């Protein structure tokens, strides 16, 4: 934990930044690299008229680390992803703050 789901970015592009992304996020959050999970989701966006161009969307599921850390994480994602997408394209980072009371691992509560 943290778990990051990524869609709207080509797999090879995500893979090309995955190591440095996890290293940077581990440093900012003071969390071991091995605690991060990065999940690629192949997604097709639809709008009126059919398929629509994708934009990078990062869902970050974690235990709350405060607004300042969220801001730093969003900026790191922006810095690493921006060179991979068209100028002016949105890059979205959405944080889901999990509650410890809701977290179970291997059937055990932590």
Report the distance separating Cα 32 and Cα 13, nearest Å: 23
* 45 assigned to some structural domain: yes
Q: Tell me if 107 is assigned to some domain.
A: no
- Quick check: 63 and 97 in contact, CB under 8 A? yes
Q: What percentage of the chain reaches a pLDDT higher than 90?
A: 73
Residue 66 scores a pLDDT above 80: yes
108: in domain: no
Residue 28 lies in a domain: yes
Alpha carbon distances (Å) from 109 to 12, 48, 99:
36, 44, 11
Contact partners, residue 24, CB within 8 Å, separation at least 6:
76, 80
CATH of residue 88? 3.30.429.10
Alpha-carbon distances, residue 27 vs 31, 48, 104 (angstroms): 7, 42, 25
CA 3 and chain centroid, separation: 8
Would residue 5 be called left, alpha or beta, if left means φ above 0 and alpha means ψ between -120 and 50 degrees?
beta
Is 96 a member of any domain? yes
Quote the number of domains for the chain.
1
The 10s digit of each residue's pLDDT in 16-55 is 999 999 999 999 999 999 999 999 999 888 888 888 778 9
Domain that holds residue 94: 3-100
Structural domain contains residue 109: no
How would residue 102 be classed by pLDDT, with cut points 50, 70 and 90?
confident
């Amino acid at each position: 934990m943290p778990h990051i789901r990524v869609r709207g970015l080509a797999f090879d592009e995500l893979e090309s930044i995955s190591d440095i992304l996890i290293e940077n996020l581990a440093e900012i959050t003071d969390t071991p690299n091995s605690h991060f999970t990065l999940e690629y989701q192949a997604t097709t966006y639809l709008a009126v008229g059919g398929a629509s161009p994708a934009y990078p969307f990062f869902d970050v599921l974690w235990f709350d680390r405060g607004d300042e850390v969220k801001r730093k994480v969003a900026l790191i994602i922006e810095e690493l992803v921006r060179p991979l997408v068209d100028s002016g394209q949105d890059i979205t980072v959405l944080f889901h703050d999990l509650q410890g009371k809701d977290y179970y691992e291997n059937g055990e509560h932590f």
